[in-house]
Amino acid sequence: MSLILILEQILNGLQFGVMLFLMAAGLTLVFGVMGLINLAHGALYMVGAFAAAAVAGLTGSFVLALIASLAAAAAAGALVEVTVIRRLYDRDHLDQVLATFALILIFSEGTRWIFGSFPLFLDVPDYLSGPVTLPGGIKYPLYRLAIIVIGLVVGAGLFWLIARTRIGIQIRAGEADREMIAALGVDISKLYTLVFALGAALAGLAGALVGAIQSVQVGMGEPVLILAFVVIVIGGIGSIKGALVGALLVGLTDTLGGIFLPRLFTLMMEPAQAASLGASLASMLIYILMAAVLLVRPSGLFGGSA
Amino acid sequence: MGRERLFNLAVILALLAVPLLALALDEPFVITLATKVAILALAGVGLNIALGLGGLVSLGHAAFFGIGGYAMGILAAHAQNYEPLFSWPFLFEGSNQMPLIWLVAVLASAAAALVIGALSLRTSGVYFIMITLAFGQMLYYFAISWSAYGGEDGLSIWVRNEMPGLNTLIPIQFFGVCFALLCGALLFSARLAGSGFGLALSAARQTEERVETVGLQPFKLRLVAFVISGAITGLAGALFADLNRFVSPTMLSWHTSGEIMIFVILGGVGRLYGPVVGAAVYILLEHLLGGISEYWQIFLGLLLLGMVLFARGGLIGALLGREVAHD
């Protein structure tokens, strides 16, 4: 096991973590501001990926595909917010879970209806394909590096938006006291639609970026959704900073665990047994991490009171 | 209460009458459907104890359903292949006897519910939902990577397991077994709701502080309810695997958790017979709409959405009104 391999895996973990952050940021914003648990967030990720694959297929442009993913997911998010989600803000979590689960069924089957059951493929553009040599002699796929950079840039933009802009102030005020900012003349329902569409756009972008590495298919958003839940539970629901830290923790733990646990077990037992036990345990690692965090801090690393 | 009791009686008699009628008309497939309804309703009755009575929105009950299924799969697979499951402290070769399988399924899912519950109940609200979901998913991925028992492909058994005194290969007899267990669980559930424990649990759902003030511990009440709930759902999982003679990670997936929750909600949360009505309607829709369109789940989604937004008492609530003392 060489240092280069370890560094490569750390980069992979970072890339995975950054993608998770794009997903988790929307979820945690929507929960923090509107108090809504949105299971359909993964469906918006899927919408982004499909929109990107369709536009890339028509135009051949990857940049247009990414723009389409943002636009389609934001539009789908805004539509869903206006028609369904806004009726759920005052309901209990059970109703929110059910209604958004129903939305998953509608989105998944609707997408299957339009695009069929076969996966679509979104190609990495030429100018981003192939490996790049990093300082230290590590060869790493350029596209994955680009994902890390895009993710970090978007993340930084989000922090700036929340911390420095007027919209950000309104969003934070909405988290703290929704009646008060409504009384101060902010159109709260427009703000909610905006926040929801923003979260959706981030999820859609993540879907498109990951769609170029994996295949674009119905149901692709659900495993990511559940990981994003793990992320925000670890980070503390409602906290963007928590989402970032949680996402990187989960991304790194999952990637490094999957590679190194089987190897670690090989030191202690025979290879076949070690491989299967290592793989089983590695698949559970992030949940064990989550349980450990909860034992120490039931409301997550950066959460207030649950 | 009179009207609801009458309605409940009608529901359970209908569930009994349909397969008997199918037997007379020689329609074995309908008997299988009715068996499926009884089993899924049983899973829902389990969830309803946590959800309806305890107010615990668990999105991870597939874990217990799947553990029950795997208990059946593992015991039966060892018995059919003559490979001992373990040889210490005594030789155990697996089993194809339903009562023993059920016992193992109930104990294993109760143990899992104890661990998951003890961790998840430290939190509440939306955290609880996400954490139960995550633990369910953890077991799902574990099952996928557990190559000794089929991994992603799951486990098949050749012959349905045996029940002393019955021939479970005959559909109506297996239906009878499942129906009897469902009735048992419904009776148990009704007794539980009316018992001191059930009342305290309901009170903890409504106003936690008052329950604490009189010296009861909501955490303990909820944990016990969660364990009972998981155990019943686990039993249903063992039966479901036996019905299909197959168990796979799909039983553990979070879609299964969502579906079990849908059974409870379609019927009406906190209604004793809600899961029976919900499971029956779900299976009926699956077969009616599934025959019309491959994409029937769109309609299921729309129906569910409409139900949540506009008819909150579920089907029983829509039929009978909100007369039950639920919140």
Q: Is residue B35 in a domain?
A: no
CA pair distance B293, B227, nearest whole angstrom: 39
Q: What is the pLDDT of residues A158-176, one digit of tens each?
A: 999 988 999 888 888 887 8
Measured in whole angstroms, how far is the alpha carbon of residue A58 from the centre of its chain?
Answer: 26
CA pair distance A260, A266, nearest whole angstrom: 10
CB B238, CB B161: distance < 8 Å = no
CA pair distance B60, B115, nearest whole angstrom: 13
CA pair distance B129, B108, nearest whole angstrom: 22
> Hey, are the CB atoms on A299 and B127 less than 8 Å from each other?
yes
CB A208, CB A51: distance < 8 Å = yes
pLDDT lower than 50: segments of chain B: 324-327
**Chain A residues closer than 8 Å to B309 by CB:** 84, 87, 99
Q: What is the pLDDT of residues B185-199, one digit of tens each?
A: 999 999 999 999 999
Quick one: three-class SS letters along B296-325? HHHHHHHHHHHHHHHCCCHHHHHHHCCCCC
Nearest to A87 among B265, B302, B309 (CB): B309
Tokens 């890390």, residue located: A148
Q: Is residue A253 in a domain?
A: no
Q: Is residue B57 in a domain?
A: yes
Tokens 């809600």, residue located: B274
Q: The tokens of B125 are what?
A: 């609200």
Mean pLDDT taken over chain B: 89
Which of B87, B66, B70, B8 is closest to B250 using CA atoms? Answer: B66
- Domain range holding A104? 10-218
Nearest to B305 among A84, A97, A230 (CB): A84
> Hey, are the CB atoms on A110 and B309 less than 8 Å from each other?
no
* Residue type (1 letter), B197: F
Count of C-beta atoms within a 10 Å radius of residue B4: 18
CB A24, CB A203: distance < 8 Å = no
> Hey, are the CB atoms on B148 and A276 less than 8 Å from each other?
yes
Q: Is residue A258 in a domain?
A: no
* Residue type (1 letter), A270: E
- Domain range holding B63? 2-7+41-320
Which of A85, A117, A261, A283 should we substitute to test contact with B (largest number of B Cβ atoms within 10 Å)? A283
ipTM: 0.85
Measured in whole angstroms, how far is the alpha carbon of residue B216 from the centre of its chain?
Answer: 28
CA pair distance A265, A279, nearest whole angstrom: 10
Q: Strand, helix or coil at A37?
A: coil
Q: Is residue A277 in a domain?
A: no
Give the pLDDT of residue A304. Answer: 67
CA distance A137 to chain B (A): 34
CB B137, CB B153: distance < 8 Å = no
Per-residue CA distances from A10 to A16, A234, B261, B305 (Å): 10, 20, 39, 42
Which of A198, A204, A205 is closest to A174 using CA atoms? Answer: A198
CA pair distance B301, A240, nearest whole angstrom: 31
Q: The tokens of A166 are what?
A: 């007027």
Q: The tokens of A95 are what?
A: 């109703």
Structural domains of chain A, count? 1
Q: Which residues of chain B are at the A interface, by a Cβ-Cβ cutoff of 8 Å?
A: 51, 57, 59, 119, 122-127, 129-131, 133-135, 137-138, 141-142, 144-148, 254, 258, 261-262, 265, 269, 295-298, 300-302, 304-305, 307-309, 312
Structural domains of chain B, count? 1
Q: Is residue B26 in a domain?
A: no
Tell me which DSSP letter residue A85 carries: G
Q: What is the pLDDT of residues A50-73, one digit of tens each?
A: 999 999 999 989 999 999 999 999
Burial A1-16 (b: 16+ CB within 10 A, else e): eeeeeeebbebbbbbb
pLDDT lower than 70: segments of chain A: 1, 304-306
> Hey, are the CB atoms on B297 and A37 less than 8 Å from each other?
no
Give the pLDDT of residue B35. Answer: 96
Which of A283, A245, A225 is closest to A46 using CA atoms? Answer: A225
Tokens 């280069």, residue located: A4
CA pair distance B23, B31, nearest whole angstrom: 7
Q: Is residue B36 in a domain?
A: no
CA distance B31 to chain A (A): 28
Beta strands in A130-236 (DSSP E): 131-134, 138-141
CB A124, CB A215: distance < 8 Å = no
Q: Is residue B325 in a domain?
A: no
**Chain B residues closer than 8 Å to A105 by CB:** 297-298, 300-301, 304
Asked if A222 is an interface residue toward chain B (Cβ–Cβ < 8 A), one would say yes
* Residue type (1 letter), A97: V
Q: Is residue A238 in a domain?
A: no
CA distance B209 to chain A (A): 16
In B, minimum Cα distance to A114 occurs at B295
